[in-house]
Structures are given as structure tokens and as C-alpha cells.
Amino acid sequence: MLPDMASALITGGTSGIGAEFARQLAARGTDLVLVARDRDRLAVTAAELHAAYGIEVETISADLASRDDAARVATRLEDAARPVDILINNAGFGVHAPLLSDDTSPHEHALAVMCTSVLVLGGAAGRAMRARGSGRILNVGSVAGLITMGSYSAVKAWVLSYSQGLAVELDGTGVTVTALLPGWVTTEFHARAGIGTRSIPQQLWLDPEALVRSAIRDLDRGRAISIPSVRFSVLSWFAMHLPRRTVRWISGRISSSRRRERSEHPDVTTLKADS
């Protein structure tokens, strides 16, 4: 475990899973650098965390779809005068555009934010931490990366594979890399992406507080893969061990129930996650 007074940079630290990482790390005395696009929300979140926990909070307004903005955040990570001990690569969103669509922009946007910027920031943090001989990197993937539901699954499969590759390169340096694979979590994620949630059984939803508590335990231990909750550990085990044909069949069933829900309830985007 890193000393409690460490510092952490969290992308997407203003909402959902990222905001919960910010709260729990702040509660143990960790100074924060929060990255997101919305400046007002960054300022409000920073003020609340400073008031509640007395920690220092710096904010960087950046759109991680932009290479220039990602490079600006990377420069902050490599600033030797202000070392960052923990990187939480969390910013992301759902994608439900069909892979056959002739408009590839939603997929390219997802690749830029959830792959390219993760690569740029992970490399910058890894170099700086390796030079100091310690550090923790956590990349937020998804159990969706274990199945085959369009570009979101492909992007999150990349995050899992990338994280393990980075862990291999950093082995023995004092820097660890953890891929966090959440299941369905009650955040703004589904409403923002217009993804229906009626077909998801109530008992499968994870609470961000419990998810992040478990993830931080795994981060402290330097575990390579973190899958919070027994339910999703078991489901993930099946996704990793069933024949791929079966996994594709299950993925098709989930996708078609989502499509049916969208056609039956086209105006409803904020469902169980917010109710």
C-alpha cells in the first residue's frame, strides 16, 4: 500500500465511479488532480472535497478525445516537481452505434477517449513512476470487455489486454497496474449514452461506493485484475471459460433485448440507474 498522503490523478473524477474514487482517496488524505471536460462541475467537486477532507485538489479541464488535451494531462503526470503516485484512467462512456454504420465517428471517439488517451496517460505515468521506483496505475475496463457487444466491448477488451501488457513492462519496478472490470454500476453512464436498463435485473446493479472500496483494496495490493462483487466474479469466470460461440450467443441476446427496449421505449433513457 502506498502512504496515505500520496497524490492521485483521476480522469472523469467528477461523476460516477471516478467521483467515488476521488471521495474515497480524499478520505484517506490523498491530494487529487481531477480531469474532466465540464469546468463548473470540476470546480464544485474540488471545493466539496477540499472542504470535506482538507486535501489539495487541482483541476484540469481537458477533452481526452483531443490528442493535445491528453498530451497536456500527460505533461502534468511527468512533472517531477509535483509527483503523482496513483493514476486512475477512468473517463469513458457507453457506445451503442452499430458496427455496420457508415458513420464511424462514435467508434473513433470511443477509441480516442478509452484507448488512445489511456495509452498516452498510462505511458506518461508509468515512466514517471518507474523513475521514482513506486506507483499505482488503475485502468477502468468493464466485464463487457469479456463478451462481444460492439465497439464498447472491443474497447474494453483492449483496456484489459493493454493493462496486462503494461504490468509486464513495469514488472519489478515498484509500479503496479490494475485493470478494474466493473459490472453494471449506478452512475450517469447509461442515461448519458441513451442506453436502456429495463432488461437488467435489479440485483445485478452495483453501488459505486462498494465497487470502489473493493477496487482500492485490489489497487493497494497491486492485483493485475479487479472484478468487484461475487456476482460479477462468477459471471466473468463463465465469460472467460465458456466456448466463444456461447459467449457470442449470449452477447447477441443481450444486444437484441437492448434494441427491443429502445424501439419500445424510444424516449426513455434514464431508467433504473437513476430511480
Q: Is residue 185 part of the contact set for ligand NAP (CB under 6 A)?
A: yes
Question: Which of 8, 22, 26, 64: binder of ligand NAP (CB under 6 A)?
Answer: 64
**Which of 16, 122, 135, 228: binder of ligand NAP (CB under 6 A)?**
16
**182 touches ligand NAP by CB under 6 A:** yes
Strands 57-61 and 7-11: unpaired
Active site (annotated) includes residue 152:
yes
Q: Are 119 and 64 in contact (CB under 8 A)?
A: no
- Which string of x and - marks every residue 118-137 that binds ligand NAP (by CB under 6 A)? --------------------
Select from 57-65, 231-239, 245-253, 257-265 the region that touches ligand NAP (CB under 6 A). 57-65
Task: Give the residue with the Cβ less far from ligand NAP, 140 or 170.
Answer: 140
From 58, 93, 96, 254, residue interacting with ligand NAP (rule: CB under 6 A): 93
Q: Between residues 99 and 204, which has the closer beta carbon with respect to ligand NAP?
A: 204
φ and ψ at residue 206, rounded to 5 degrees: -105, 145
Q: How far is the CB of 196 from ligand NAP (least distance, A)?
A: 13
Among the listed ranges 33-41, 80-88, 130-138, 165-173, the one in contact with ligand NAP (CB under 6 A) is 33-41
Residue 117's nearest CA partner among 142, 139, 95, 145 is 139
Find the DSSP H helices in 78-207. 105-111, 117-132, 150-169, 189-193
**Residue of the chain from 9, 25, 46, 65 that contacts ligand NAP (CB under 6 A):** 65
Q: Does 10 bind ligand NAP (CB under 6 A)?
A: no
How many of the other CB atoms lie within 10 Å of CB of 165? 12
Of 13, 113, 145, 152, catalytic: 152
Strand partners, 9: 33, 87
Identify the burial level of 101 via C-beta atoms within 10 angstroms of its C-beta, where 0-12 means exposed, 13-18 middle and 19 or more buried. exposed
Select from 8, 17, 175, 239 the one that contacts ligand NAP (CB under 6 A). 17
| CA gap 114, 91 in Å, rounded | 7
Sheet-wide strand order for 175-180? 57-61, 31-36, 7-11, 86-89, 135-140, 175-180, 225-226
Identity at 273, one-letter amino acid code? A
Residues that bind ligand NAP (CB under 6 A): 11-12, 14-18, 36-38, 41, 62-65, 90-93, 113, 140, 142, 182, 184-185, 187-189, 192
